[in-house]
């Protein structure tokens, strides 16, 4: 089978392969990958697919849902030209070096090259054992696979840099999982997601070779990465130009810049990754590995969706920018053996700090409908807002959308703001009515008046409520993949009803638009979901 796809498998061509062909758990040295085939499954069933991703990789959408493609994307067959493998990498997990990790349940099928010469790696998650599976089974369950499939596509349509998802397929088999690690495992439906990205190279790919002082393989990996993913850094020098310290430092600086941009987008939409280990950080500044993620519902900067992180909250929402910087330092340390000195890599870290601050300011100005960020006024305005959002349990997504609807008037004719009208607009964003106290109401009105003055004094755009609303609604989504919505789709799918997965995917394709008849997908978390498993915090079990 070809599906009219052409494969150009650069990673397996450029990197040294594991000489051991047998598939058993082991330490793999001086190799970038191990060749391994997916484990066949008994009764694959198509659940959902992304027509946009099919188009991206040059796959005719007529194949989506077909028996032939289902067999391939479940792991039962290979298309012509595929060269399946699992990557070798290490990583820091929760701040501690974990040694070799690798693709324990992800198998890269191969790299599709499209007519415009772009490369897209197809990767099956949940496709069975690899040499890096350690004590696990290499499989994935329905609940985590639904979440990964939907979130990959939701993030793309939100404008957040991300890996993509082509398909979600049930395997027809049961997988034993202890969801809460409390000694009560249960059998769950097995599933496989086909993930798609230009590359799945992570910070940890570099760390493993540096930790083993294997500079030869490290240099080979760096050269492959630059020639494949950062060829513009060799522009004018020819494709065979030497990849020296200056080019490596330039690559690192670009990684720092794109990582900053990615995290700012996370903060903009209220996304919390949950497991920002270095093996979950893409070298391309893409959101990768959707495990126990979540969206802020009530604005709580200390919230993390990961039960494993419940005590230390290392990967909480507000800490993500600092963690990204910490991870970049870990990557820099892995590159020092090739760059030979720290100073060029320290410049990259400085770029991250500068880029994040600049992008954060621009992002917050956009969320508030301002033409640009003015530190003299806006530092206090934003700080006061973030404090206000915590005085009463407030839904972040709904708050910004409803804020855009409040009429402020013009500089010549400002609207006289009234408490009752403001509260009426924002009531949908409040979770607990009793928390809307007199103290909160006073703080709210003080902030609203400051905000109104700032908007009406903004010379960058005409002071027009309609235009401000349009600007704000272009960056503040109405629809995000709330945990409880994902859980409802999982519950239905578990009973054989795939319709909500498809309906959610369709709604999330247009997250900034008002969609008549779909308002229920924009509602705040219902009370029944406050502490329900899958709707609040999640474990790493998947």
DSSP state of 526: P
323 pLDDT more than 70: yes
217 pLDDT more than 70: yes
Q: What is the mean pLDDT of residues 277-281?
A: 98
* 336 token code pair: 């020092």
pLDDT tier for residue 373 given thresholds of 50, 70 and 90:
very high
153 pLDDT more than 80: yes
Name the residues annotated as catalytic.
Answer: 279
Q: What is the pLDDT of residues 440-459, one digit of tens each?
A: 999 999 999 999 999 999 98
Q: What is the mean pLDDT of residues 362-373?
A: 96
pLDDT tier for residue 320 given thresholds of 50, 70 and 90:
very high
411 pLDDT more than 90: no
pLDDT tier for residue 409 given thresholds of 50, 70 and 90:
very high
534 or 433: which carries more pLDDT confidence?
Answer: 433
pLDDT of residue 531: 86
The answer to whether 138 is annotated as binding is yes
237 pLDDT more than 80: no
What's the helix, strand, coil split of the chain in %, to 5?
Answer: 45, 15, 40
3-class state of residue 376 by DSSP: helix
Select from 47, 50, 112 the least CA-distant residue to 81. Answer: 112
What percentage of the chain reaches a pLDDT higher than 90? 91
- Three-state SS string over 489-502 comes to HHHHHHCCCCHHHH
Q: What is the mean pLDDT of residues 316-323?
A: 98
238 pLDDT more than 70: no
pLDDT of residue 506: 98
The answer to whether 277 is annotated as binding is no
510 pLDDT more than 60: yes
The answer to whether 159 is annotated as binding is no
**Interacting residues of 289 by C-beta distance below 8 A, sequence separation 6+:** 275, 280
Q: What is the mean pLDDT of residues 76-89?
A: 97
Chain position carrying tokens 């917050």: 364
Listed range (16-30, 236-250, 401-415) with the worst mean pLDDT: 236-250
Q: What is the mean pLDDT of residues 318-326?
A: 98
pLDDT tier for residue 539 given thresholds of 50, 70 and 90:
low
What percentage of the chain reaches a pLDDT higher than 70? 97
The answer to whether 125 is annotated as binding is yes
pLDDT of residue 196: 98
Contact 167, 136 (CB under 8 A): no
Total residues found in the chain within this entry: 542
The answer to whether 238 is annotated as binding is no
Contact 50, 165 (CB under 8 A): yes
pLDDT tier for residue 403 given thresholds of 50, 70 and 90:
very high
Listed range (39-48, 308-317, 361-370, 379-388) with the worst mean pLDDT: 308-317
pLDDT tier for residue 198 given thresholds of 50, 70 and 90:
very high
The answer to whether 530 is annotated as binding is no
pLDDT of residue 464: 84
Contact 282, 202 (CB under 8 A): yes
Question: What's the Cα-to-Cα distance from 36 to each of 130, 136, 198, 489, 495, rounded to whole Å?
Answer: 7, 16, 20, 32, 33
pLDDT tier for residue 22 given thresholds of 50, 70 and 90:
very high
331 pLDDT more than 90: yes
- Three-state SS string over 206-241 comes to HHHHHHCCCHHHHHHHHHHHHHHHCHHHHCCCCCCC
């Amino acid at each position: 089978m070809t599906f009219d796809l052409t494969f150009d498998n650069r990673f397996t061509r450029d990197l040294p392969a594991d000489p051991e062909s047998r598939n058993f758990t082991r330490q793999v040295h001086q190799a970038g990958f191990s060749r391994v085939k997916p484990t066949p499954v008994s009764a694959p069933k198509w659940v959902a697919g992304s027509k946009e991703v099919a188009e991206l990789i040059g796959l005719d959408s007529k194949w989506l849902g077909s028996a032939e493609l289902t067999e391939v994307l479940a792991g039962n067959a290979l298309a012509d030209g595929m060269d399946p493998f699992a990557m070798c990498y290490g990583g820091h997990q929760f701040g501690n070096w974990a040694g070799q990790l690798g693709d324990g349940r992800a198998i890269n099928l191969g790299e599709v090259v499209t007519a415009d010469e772009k490369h897209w790696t197809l990767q099956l998650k949940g496709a069975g054992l690899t040499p890096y599976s350690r004590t696990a089974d290499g499989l994935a369950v329905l609940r985590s696979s639904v979440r990964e499939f939907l979130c990959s596509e939701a993030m793309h349509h939100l404008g957040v840099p991300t890996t993509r998802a082509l398909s979600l397929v049930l395997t027809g088999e049961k997988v034993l999982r202890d969801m809460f690690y409390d000694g009560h495992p249960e059998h769950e439906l097995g599933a496989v997601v086909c993930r798609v990205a230009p590359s799945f190279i992570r910070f940890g790919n570099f760390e493993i070779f540096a930790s083993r002082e294997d500079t030869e393989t490290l240099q080979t990996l760096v050269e492959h990465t630059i020639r494949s993913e950062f060829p513009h850094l060799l522009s004018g020098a020819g494709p065979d130009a030497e990849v020296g310290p200056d080019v490596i430092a330039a690559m690192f600086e670009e990684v720092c810049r794109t990582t900053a941009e990615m995290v700012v987008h996370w903060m903009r939409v209220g996304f919390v990754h949950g497991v920002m280990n270095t093996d979950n950080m893409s070298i391309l500044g893409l959101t990768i590995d959707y495990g126990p993620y979540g969206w802020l519902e009530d604005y709580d900067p200390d919230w993390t969706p990961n039960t494993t992180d419940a005590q230390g909250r290392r990967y909480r929402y507000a800490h993500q920018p600092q963690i990204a910087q910490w991870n970049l330092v870990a990557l820099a340390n892995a590159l020092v053996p090739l760059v030979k000195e720290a100073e060029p890599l320290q410049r990259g870290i400085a770029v991250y700090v500068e880029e994040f601050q600049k992008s954060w300011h621009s992002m917050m100005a956009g969320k508030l409908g301002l033409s640009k960020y003015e530190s003299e006024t806006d530092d206090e305005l934003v700080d006061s807002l973030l404090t206000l959002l915590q005085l009463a349990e407030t839904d972040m997504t709904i708050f910004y959308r409803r804020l855009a609807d409040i009429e402020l008037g013009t500089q010549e004719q400002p609207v006289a703001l009234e408490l009752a009208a403001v509260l009426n607009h924002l009531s949908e964003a409040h979770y607990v009515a009793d928390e809307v106290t007199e103290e909160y109401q006073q703080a709210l009105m003080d902030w609203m008046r400051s905000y109104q003055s700032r908007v009406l004094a903004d010379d960058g755009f005409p002071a027009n409520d309609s235009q401000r609303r349009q600007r704000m609604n272009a960056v503040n989504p109405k629809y995000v993949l709330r945990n409880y919505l994902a859980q409802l789709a999982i519950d239905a799918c578990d009973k054989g009803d795939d319709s909500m997965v498809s309906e959610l995917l369709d709604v999330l394709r247009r997250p900034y638009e008002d969609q008549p008849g779909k308002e229920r997908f924009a509602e705040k978390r219902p009370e029944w979901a406050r502490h329900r498993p899958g709707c609040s915090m999640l474990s790493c079990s998947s």
